[in-house]
Structure 1
Amino acid sequence: MRRSLLICALVVLGLAGAAHAATPSPGGVAYGSSTASHLGDRVPLQRGMSGHDVKVLQDALTRLGRPVPLTGSFGPVTQRALRSWERSAKRRVNGRVDRGDLPGLLRAFDAAVIPPPVLGATATINADGTATPPASAPQVIADLFVAANRIATLPYRYGGGHKSFDDTAYDCSGSVSFALHGAGLLDYTMDSTMLESYGDAGPGQWITIYANADHTFLTVAGVRFDTSGQSAAGTRWQPAERSTKGFVVRHPTGL
């Protein structure tokens, strides 16, 4: 008898717990984790919520120049970034995603909306041979710096970085390919001739690639990543100024 009563009690408690977990908060907003897949599946989207749609929001904010960790949890960092975007987009600043915010946020996935560099915002070359992007740099640019810093002071070797992205030395095109790959802008290593047709023609707002049959380098956020001059500078990161005569000029689409 006692066993039967205990089982019944556990069943009742379990059902009660399940019902409580499924109950939305006042106002009809479902807090906690969700199976929502797309930004806009739940509106409003606000602090305290989590799910894939929150991660998409964080990705959008990052692409719009307000880097946010892709945690899938809507916390204070995401809310601050959203408020910042709302102010710049002249939206109501309330720190939550309303229906009217969606068109502007979803434009983040159009590569053409990557913000141009802020006037005077230039990367800093550090004493250890690495470089730090300007605070205004979007996430894709920050990722390029992280990757390039990994190999900035590694030695030059002809053919280095072409059999595999992971190598102990890199030539000019191997270096440029590694940096672009780290930013998610290249899936495989290209030599300098191949880079002559990479992306779109002309200089970019953030990244510009210079290539010819003999050499290639790139400039990003006002500094140059180049194996030429590395022996003197001690790093591939150098001031942007150098002759570009005879080079084809390209840039990643939207950057």
Structure 2
Amino acid sequence: MGRSRLTAATAALAAVAACVGCGTDGGASGGGPGEDGGGGAVEAVLTPDSVDRGAVQRASVGERERRGGQAVELRGAGSETEPASGPATAASAADGISPGAPTDAEVRAELRQARRQLARFRTFLGTTAYLQTGPRARVLPDGTAVAPDDAPEPVKRIIQAGNAIAKFPYKWGGGHGAWRDDGYDCSGSVSFALAGAGLLDSPLTSGGFMDWGAAGPGEWVTIYTNPGHIFMIVAGLRFDTSGRGRAGTRWQEAPRSTAGFVVRSVPGL
């Protein structure tokens, strides 16, 4: 709308100038004011309300014919203003940086935040068993275990409790006088892990586990016991005080012989 009004106004001014020229030429040739060179009356091009576009066009054509077809071209009248490029935009273009890109300070701040989140995640891995790892649990380099995400909640709690003592030293009778001890034997270790899931009220010896729970292997937890030793398999990992491998942990991925052991399980697991 602004462009149309500016174009019309420009044309009107050109027509008025043409008409003034006509009156001057007419006076020189004997014509009176308000007459063209041929003695005809000049059409009004302006009205109180608007520009008479038809009169403007006719006056412009007549002026070009009178001057031998010469015309004056007005460039840029009514053209849209292009957005100015400020110093920041020009500098960004010169450096090849897209407008709106983050600054170096913002990038460094994001990196610091990412490092803090990674540190918290590493701490999380070292203290909990709640992490998806596939169809079976696995042992981390620090000797703790992580449970499958789809494992039942008691299984995750067994692993979490086992992590708490996974690297404690072997101590004969450890874990039987009190749940908290500075070392645990085989049955004390298994008892502590099961108690962490609320499955055992007080520690049992390896012989005491021979008729505990249900007979046969379980889907998630299987206990192998005899009068001299006990270990259990939890989500595919062996929790055992013998044969401790890397990081001196009770969690082990390698199997062992089960000959001479009674097989028991946790009902429902």
Q: The residue matched to 2:211 in structure 1 has which SS? A: coil
Amino acid at match of 1:146: Q
Residues 6-17 of structure 1: matches in 2 within 5 Å? none
Conserved 8 A contact 1:210-1:247: yes
Residues 1-255 of structure 1: matches in 2 within 5 Å? 121-230=135-244, 234-255=248-269
Give the distance between the partners of 1:170 and 1:227, measured in 2 at CA: 9
Cα-to-partner distance string for 1:195-249 (whole Å, 9 max, x where unaligned): 1111000000000000001000000100100001126661000015110000000
CA RMSD of aligned residues (A): 1.6
Q: The residue matched to 1:178 in structure 2 has which SS? A: helix
Relative to structure 1, is the Cα distance of residues 232 and 130 closer, same or farther in structure 2, using a 3 angstrom cutoff? Answer: closer
Conserved 8 A contact 2:230-2:240: yes
- The list of structure 1 runs, each at least 4 consecutive aligned residues, that deviate by more than 4 angstroms after superposition, is none
Amino acid at match of 2:148: P
Which residue does the alignment assign to 1:33?
none
Relative to structure 1, is the Cα distance of residues 177 and 169 closer, same or farther in structure 2, using a 3 angstrom cutoff? Answer: same
Conserved 8 A contact 1:122-1:222: yes
Cα-to-partner distance string for 1:117-163 (whole Å, 9 max, x where unaligned): xxx61101001110000111111111111100000000001000000
Instruction: Please report how far the alpha carbon of residue 175 of structure 1 lies from its aligned counterpart in structure 2 after TM superposition.
Output: 0.2
Conserved 8 A contact 1:207-1:221: yes
Conserved 8 A contact 1:222-1:240: no
Conserved 8 A contact 2:190-2:231: yes
Conserved 8 A contact 1:219-1:240: no
Which residue does the alignment assign to 1:89?
none
Give the distance between the partners of 1:240 and 1:176, measured in 2 at CA: 18
Amino acid at match of 2:137: A
Conserved 8 A contact 2:155-2:197: yes
Which structure's relative contact order is higher, taking Cα pairs within 8 Å and 6+ residues apart? 1
Give the distance between the partners of 1:232 and 1:213, measured in 2 at CA: 27
Conserved 8 A contact 2:170-2:185: yes
Give the distance between the partners of 1:202 and 1:243, measured in 2 at CA: 16
Which one has a bigger Cα radius of gyration?
2
Give the distance between the partners of 2:242 and 2:227, measured in 1 at CA: 15
Give the distance between the partners of 2:193 and 2:254, measured in 1 at CA: 16
Identity of aligned residues (%): 56
Normalising by structure 1, report the TM-score: 0.52
Relative to structure 1, is the Cα distance of residues 240 and 208 closer, same or farther in structure 2, using a 3 angstrom cutoff? Answer: farther
Give the aligned length: 137
Give the distance between the partners of 1:178 and 1:140, measured in 2 at CA: 13
For structure 1, which runs of at least 5 residues remain unmatched after alignment?
1-119
Conserved 8 A contact 2:138-2:253: no
Cα-to-partner distance string for 1:156-211 (whole Å, 9 max, x where unaligned): 01000000111110000000000000011100000000011110000000000000
Relative to structure 1, is the Cα distance of residues 139 and 232 closer, same or farther in structure 2, using a 3 angstrom cutoff? Answer: closer
